[in-house]
Copies of this chain bind each other. A is one copy, B any other.
């Protein structure tokens, strides 16, 4: 499903042109004939007729490779592409926690890109691998960034309510989820914890010193198609008033906003004031670039140094394909692509 959103977002993109779509098992077939298209009525016209290639770096002509491979094959294939000089932007979890691989959210920690020099040198690669966090992490980390800057976060207690598209396709059997919730997603709580600590970490020479924030996560699967909702409680170092916190969220901008990148929403964080928002179905397509803003609501001060709120993001756009495309745009602007 992430792959299909890549197709959708890169179709008619102002900076990028899709030169190849690879799938080793379907190489040689037409994209629209070999794919069960899941995102509404039809495959985007421009890419419908493209012939799938083998995932072989020798036969691909491109500057950037977007990977949404399953983790167990990503390790090998992505490194082959990096070795051959491609800049690989990966949604796979395989390399995310390796010390020399940047794990980057464009608005949050683009300074981690400095890891790439050490990565190339040590691994002897002409290209490089940059990773995109897990969808749940991306959404949460973006909403926490201005709070971390303002208050210094000590503890985060989060319960997620994640949509079925987060499990891919076919993913969650309908018999498991109609009239039900599953209070467990394999590996998700660990990813949320370790990725957050890396993203909020600081560059120390050639490595990232992890943040010491304490993360307690409980992840659930809910009968929602798209959009992850997260119920967040934080404890902070410093005190602040509710208004200051809301202002910090609302006025937050990152490098992509300053550079006015094509996939950058004007506001990465939209704060809603209605008492019953954000809601997945109503708010998942929020943003001047639809689905690229996260939506925060019900911000409450619940202690002298503690706050609660809900954050929602589209797991396949801000949490995956959109975030990776935005990162690619930023990498081009900042000179990482020759």
List chain A positions with a Cβ less than 8 A from chain B: 1, 38, 40-41, 157, 159, 161, 164-165, 169-184, 214, 216, 218, 220, 222-225, 229, 231, 233, 275-283, 285-286, 297-298, 302-303, 306, 308, 310
Contact = CB atoms under 8 A, between A and B. Distances in A.
B174 A223 contact: yes
Contacts of A297: 183
Given A183-B279, A183-B297, A285 B40 contact: yes
B285 A41 contact: yes
Contacts of A172: 173-175
Contacts of A306: 216
Given A174-B171, A182-B279, A282-B180, A223 B223 contact: yes
Contact of A173 (B171, B285, B298): B171
Contact of A175 (B171, B231, B283, B303): B171
A216 B308 contact: yes
A170 B173 contact: yes
A175 B165 contact: yes
Contacts of A40: 282, 285
A286 B224 contact: no
Nearest to A36: B176
Contacts of A276: 182-184
Contacts of A224: 178-181, 223
B161 A218 contact: no
A174 B38 CA distance: 12
A231 to B, nearest CB: 4
B277 A183 contact: yes
Nearest to A38: B175
Nearest to A293: B41
A222 B229 CA distance: 11
Contacts of A281: 179-180
A319 to B, nearest CB: 16
Nearest to A232: B218
B164 A174 contact: yes
A170 B175 CA distance: 7
Contacts of A181: 161, 222, 224, 229, 279-280
B176 A231 contact: no
A159 B38 CA distance: 25
For A218, A229, A297, which residue has the most chain B Cβ atoms within 10 angstroms?
A218
Contacts of A279: 180-183
